Structure 1
Amino acid sequence: MRYDAEAAYVLHARPWRETSVLLELLTEHHGRIGLVARGVQGPKRHVLRAALQPLQHIRFDGVQRGELAQLRGAEAIDAAPRLSSDAALAGFYVSELMLRLAPRQDPYSGLYELYGQVRERLRAGAALAWTLRRFERDLIEALGFGFDLSHDGDGAPVDPAARYRLDPEHGPRRVLSERIDGGGRSRTATGRALLALAGDRTPEADDLAGLRRVLREVLAHHLGGRGLKSWELMSELGRIAAPTRSAQASSATDADDSVS
C-alpha cells in the first residue's frame, strides 16, 4: 500500500538505531499506523525531524511493507501547539491514550477529528480538566465502548443528587455508600456531574475530580490492566491533589485532577 500526501497526527516518535526514528501516526483515512523514518537524525535533516514530533500535524508519503510502513517524505501542515508544564503532560496523556486504544490500520470514525479537536483546545489554553474529560468521553464513544450517561444500567434516569460509579460494560450504577480508594478519595461521581458530561456542560468544580476517577476506571478496563506512563508520572511527581471549593485553588489544581 502507498500513502500519498496522507494527512496525519504524530502520536509518538522514538530514535531507532543510529539515524532513524520509529513513528506512530494517526492518519485521516487509515487509522493508526507505524512507520520507520530512515536517515532523519543527520544535521541536514532538521526540518524533516522537526515535522516528526508528537502533536505535529503532517502530510506524508510512504509505502506499507509488512507491519511497519517506510516513510518517504513528510511536511508540517501547521505548527504544533507549544505546550508547557501541565498542558504538556496533558498532551502526552492524550497521545498515549490514542496510541494504546486505537488499533492499527482500523480507521474508527471520528478519531482523527477528535485528536485534532483536543489538540486545538490545548493550544488555546482551555481548562485542562474539562478538556480531558470531554476527550475521554468522546474517545470511549468513538471506539464503540460508550453508554448513555443520562440513564443508569437499568434504564432509570440518573438522579442529580445520587452518586454513581461507571461500570465499563453497563454504564452508570447507583451506589448507596461511598467507594473510597487507598488515598481516601471517593470512587464515585455525582449524578449531577454525569448529566453535565452527557449534556456537554461544564460541571461544577467539585464534580471534576469524581468524573476523572470514574472515567479512569472505564479506561483502565479497556487498557487491559496495564496503566499509562502519564498516570505513573503524575503519581511519581506527587501531584494528585484533592479537589477544593475555592475557585482560585481550583484553577491551580485543575491539571492535578485531570490526568492522574
Structure 2
Amino acid sequence: MSILLRRAFVLHRRPFKNTSLLLELFVEGEGRFPAVSRGGAKGSTAGLLQPFTPLRLGWGGRGEVKSLHEVEPDDYQLDRLVGKPLFCGLYLNELLMRLVPRSEPHDQLFGDYIRTLSSLVGEIPLDWSLRLFEMRLLQAAGYELVTDVTLENEPVEPGRNYLYQKGRGFSESPVELSADTSNIISGRTLIALHNKTCDDIQLRQEAKQLLRRVIDYHLDYKPLKSRELFG
C-alpha cells in the first residue's frame, strides 16, 4: 500500500545490491524506518537521496523495510552544511538512529531537527545548538532530563552545585569529598539548559560534559562514531 508524499530526511544511506540504496529515513508523522530505493544509486534521484536534503517521499510495502516509489525535493531548502556544521549534522543523525526507536512518530522532534539543522549555519553557537537538540531528543526518547527541580522536589538555585545521579536526575544532597566530582554540576548550568539560553562559554562547556555523560549512559556506553570527527 502506498501513502501520500511526506516530508522526510535521509539519516543514512549505503549501497544495496548493484544500483540500489538502503536508506534510514526520518519522516514526519511516521518516525524513523528503513527503505530501499531500487536503482536509486544511479537514477535521477541519486543526488536527492542525501542527508540534510529536505524531501517529500512516497513508499509502500508491508514489511519493516519499505520500498520508495516517489522522491521529490521539498519546497524549501536548507543551507549546505560544510566543515564543522556538517560534522554536527552527522552527529544529530547518529543520535536519532541510536536513541529513537523505529516506527514511532515524533512530529515535534522532526520540527526540532529541521530548526537545529538551520541553526548550524546561523548565529547560535554550534555547541549550544547541539545541547538544545540533545535535550529535546532525550525527552522524545523517554529520557527527559529535568534541570529546574531536584530529586528532592526543590527548585534548582544558581548559587549551588548539584550531583547528577545517572538515569534519575540531580540531587542537592551533600557530596562526600571522595566522591567523583565529574558528576557535580552548577545550578547556573542547569538553569541555562532549562531556559534554553546561555552566553557563558564555561557553562556551555559544563553542559556539554553533562549531556555527554547522560547520553553515554542511555547508550550503554557504546561509542558514537560521529564524535571522532571533532578530534
TM-score over 0.5 (shorter chain): yes
Retained in 2: the 8 A contact 1:133–1:211?
yes
Equivalent residue number for residue 248 of structure 1: none
1:194-252: CA deviation from partner (whole Å, max 9, x where unpaired): 10110122142111111111111111122233221112343xx3xxxxxxxxxxxxxxx
Divergent runs of 4+, >6 A: none
Number of residue pairs aligned between Structure 1 and Structure 2:
227
Q: Which residue does 2:126 correspond to in 1?
A: 128
- Equivalent pair of 2:28/2:106 in contact (CA under 8 Å): no
Residue of structure 2 in register with 1:252 after alignment: none
- Determine what percentage of the aligned residue pairs are the same residue: 32
Structure 1 match to 2:14: 14
Give the distance between the partners of 1:226 and 1:57, measured in 2 at CA.
Answer: 30
Query: d(CA) in 1 for partners of 2:142 and 2:107?
Result: 10
CA shift in 2, pair 1:179/1:233, >3 Å: farther
Q: Which residue of 1 aligns with 2:69?
A: 72
1:126-205 equivalent positions in 2, closer than 5 A:
126-174=124-172, 176=175, 179=180, 186-205=182-201
| CA apart distance, 1:164 | 2.9
What is the identity, as a one-letter code, of the residue corresponding to 1:129? D
Pick closer, same or farther for the CA change 1:152–1:68 going to 2, 3 Å: same
Kindly state the Cα deviation for residue 125 of structure 1 after the two structures are TM-superposed.
5.0
**Cα distance in 2 for residues equivalent to 1:89 and 1:165:** 31
Question: Using a 3 Å threshold, how does the CA distance of structure 1 residues 95 and 141 change in structure 2: closer, same or farther?
Answer: same
Report the TM-score, using the length of structure 1 for normalisation: 0.80
1:5-44 CA-partner distances (Å, limit 9, x unpaired)? 11112111112222111111111111111100111222xx
Gaps of 5+ in 2: none
* 1:115 equivalent among 106, 113, 126: 113
Question: What is the letter of the counterpart of residue 6 of structure 1?
Answer: R
Taking structure 2 as the reference length, the TM-score comes to 0.89
Contact 2:54–2:78 (8 Å) recurs in 1: yes
Shift in CA distance, 20/188, structure 1 to aligned 2, threshold 3 Å: farther
**Paired residue for 2:32?**
32
1:108 offset after TM fit, Å? Answer: 3.0
Partners in 2 of 1:203 and 1:154 — Cα distance?
A: 29
8 A contact 2:29–2:107 mirrored in 1 = no
Residue matched to 2:52: 55
1:4 to partner: Cα distance: 2.0
Residue type of the alignment partner of 1:204? D
The code of the aligned residue for 1:57 comes to: P
- 2:29–2:106 CA contact under 8 A, matched in 1: no
Output the amino acid matched with 1:61.
G
Aligned-pair CA distance for 1:124: 2.5
Match of 1:208 in 2: 204
- 1:246 is aligned to none
Q: Using the alignment, how far apart are the partners of 2:45 and 2:148 within structure 1?
A: 47
126-135 or 71-80, which deviates more: 71-80
Contact 2:20 2:37 in 1 (8 A): yes
Alignment match, 2:23: 23
Q: Distance in 2 between matches of 1:166 and 1:82?
A: 37
Q: Cα deviations across residues 109-151 of structure 1 (Å, max 9, x unaligned)?
A: 5121111111111133531011111111111122221142111
1:167–1:173: 8 Å Cα contact kept in structure 2?
yes
